[in-house]
Amino acid sequence: MTASPASAPGPGSLTVEVIGIERPADGIRQLRLAAPDRRPLPSFVPGSSILVTVPPEHPDEVEVVRAYTLIGPAFEPDAYAIAVREIGAGSRRIHRLTVGRSLTVSLPRSGFAPVLAAPEHLLIAGGIGVTPILAHARWHHETGGRITALHVHQPGRDAYRDDLRMLTAGRVTHLVGRGGVVEELERLIGEADPAAHLYTCGPDGLVRTVEEVAERLGVTADRVHSELFTTPERPSEPFTVDLRNSGRSIEVAADQSLLEALEAAGVDVDSQCRRGVCGRCCIPVSGGSIDHRDLYLSARERAAGTEMMPCVSRALGPALEVAL
C-alpha cells in the first residue's frame, strides 16, 4: 500500500527538514529535504522546481527565497533533492544549513517538462543548469526514452558526471568551456531523429546559442525548450506604463524596476523575492510587448504575453499597458 503524500502546512507550501547534505562538486551543496513525518512528498514532473524559503539568521536580515530544480526521483519521492551553487548571499545562507533544519518549500511547479510523444530528446546543460537535465535523464532512463546529453561546464565543475553517464548509457559529451559548442550542437542535431526535441538549461549565452543553432538547422521552435538558470542581464531603457483600470500613466526609469515605479506611485503590488523567482508579484498585461527577465514563467506563459513579473521584467519598447 502507498502512504498518502505529506500534507501542506498552508496553500501551496510544505514544511520539510534537511536530512542530508552532500558536495557533488566544488562550490555545490546537494540537500535532501524530507517531510518531518517521513511520508512521501508530492510527485512532480521532471524539470519541476520548488521555491525554498530560508528564514533570517539575525534580526537585521530578511528571509531568502530561491528557486531550485528537483533532481531526484519524481514519483512519490521520500525526499526532494536540490543542488545549490554558492553565488551570492542567499545561496551562502543555504550552504550554511545543517541537517535537522526545518524549512518551508513550495509545491513543485513544472515549466520545463519532457514531451512524451517525442522520438528522441537532446538534453543540453550549461554549468549547474545540469540539474533539470538530470531530472529529465532520470525519467527517460526509467521509461525507456531515447536521449543524448551535452554538458558544457568550467574546469572541475562537472557535477553529476557519473550520474549523467549512467542515466544516458554513455550517450553524453562534456565540453570544458564554450569552445566547440556550436560544432557539437551541429553534430548532435544532425545525427538526431528529425522530430527530436531539444531541452536546454543554463546561462543566457548558452541558451541563446542553442536556440540560434537549432533555428539555423531547421528545428522548429515548438521542439526547442529553454530554461534560463540566471536572470538575463541586459541594458535597461526607460518606458511608460499605462494603468488600464485607473487611466494613470507612470514613467519607469532605466535604473528602476517596474515594481519600484508602481510602488512609488502608490500602486499596491504583492512581492516576495524581488528577483524574478517566486511569482508573487505577477501582474496582468493588457497591451504592448514584454521583455521577460524572470525565472518563473514557462515558455508558454511568456509567449502568451498576458502576465509579467514587474520586479525584473520590463517593456520591450517605449510603453506597456497593465490591467491594474
CB of 198 to ligand FES, least distance (A): 27
Per CB under 6 A, which region of 31-39, 126-134, 208-216, 273-281 contacts ligand FES? 273-281
Pick the closer one to ligand FES by CB: 196 or 267.
267
CB of 10 to ligand FES, least distance (A): 17
Q: How far apart are the C-alpha atoms of 120 and 198, rounded to whole Å? A: 9
CB of 158 to ligand FES, least distance (A): 31
**What's the number of CA atoms in the CB half-sphere (13 Å) around residue 119?**
5
Report angle CA 318, 320, 324 to the nearest 5 degrees.
150
Per CB under 6 A, which region of 52-60, 109-117, 211-219, 279-287 contacts ligand FES? 279-287
Residue 272, interface with ligand FES (CB under 6 A)?
Answer: yes
Q: Which residue has the cell 528602476?
A: 256
Among 85, 109, 225, 274, binds ligand FES (CB under 6 A): 274
CB of 65 to ligand FES, least distance (A): 7
Among 271, 288, 307, 322, binds ligand FES (CB under 6 A): 271
**Binding residues for ligand FES restricted to 22-41, rule: CB under 6 A:** none
Q: Which residue has the cell 514519483?
A: 75
Q: How far apart are the C-alpha atoms of 258 and 311, rounded to whole Å? A: 6
Among 46, 73, 127, 276, binds ligand FES (CB under 6 A): 276
The residue count for binding ligand FES (CB under 6 A) is 14
Backbone angles phi, psi at 103, to 5 degrees: -140, 160
Among 147, 278, 290, 324, binds ligand FES (CB under 6 A): 278
Residue 54, interface with ligand FES (CB under 6 A)?
Answer: no
Q: Which residue(s) pair with 64 in the sheet?
A: 54
Residue 296, interface with ligand FES (CB under 6 A)?
Answer: yes
DSSP summary character for residue 93? H
**Which of 237, 245, 255 is closest to 291 using CA atoms?**
237
Per CB under 6 A, which region of 39-47, 104-112, 237-245, 265-273 contacts ligand FES? 265-273
Q: How far apart are the C-alpha atoms of 91 and 66, rounded to whole Å? A: 8
Contact pattern from residue 177 through residue 196 relative to ligand FES, giving x for each residue in contact according to CB under 6 A and a dash for the rest: --------------------
Residue 309, interface with ligand FES (CB under 6 A)?
Answer: yes
Among 208, 280, 305, 316, binds ligand FES (CB under 6 A): 280
Residue 228, interface with ligand FES (CB under 6 A)?
Answer: no
Contacts 24+ apart (CB under 8 A), 53-59: 53/103, 53/104, 53/105, 54/90, 54/93, 54/94, 54/97, 54/103, 57/93, 57/96
Among 77, 132, 279, 288, binds ligand FES (CB under 6 A): 279
Contact between 40 and 18 under an 8 Å Cβ cutoff? The reply is no
DSSP string, 72-87: S--SS-SSEEEEEE--
Contact between 79 and 32 under an 8 Å Cβ cutoff? The reply is yes
Joined together, the cell numbers standing for residue 200 give 536546454
Which residues are at the interface with ligand FES (CB under 6 A)? 271-274, 276-281, 294, 296, 309, 311
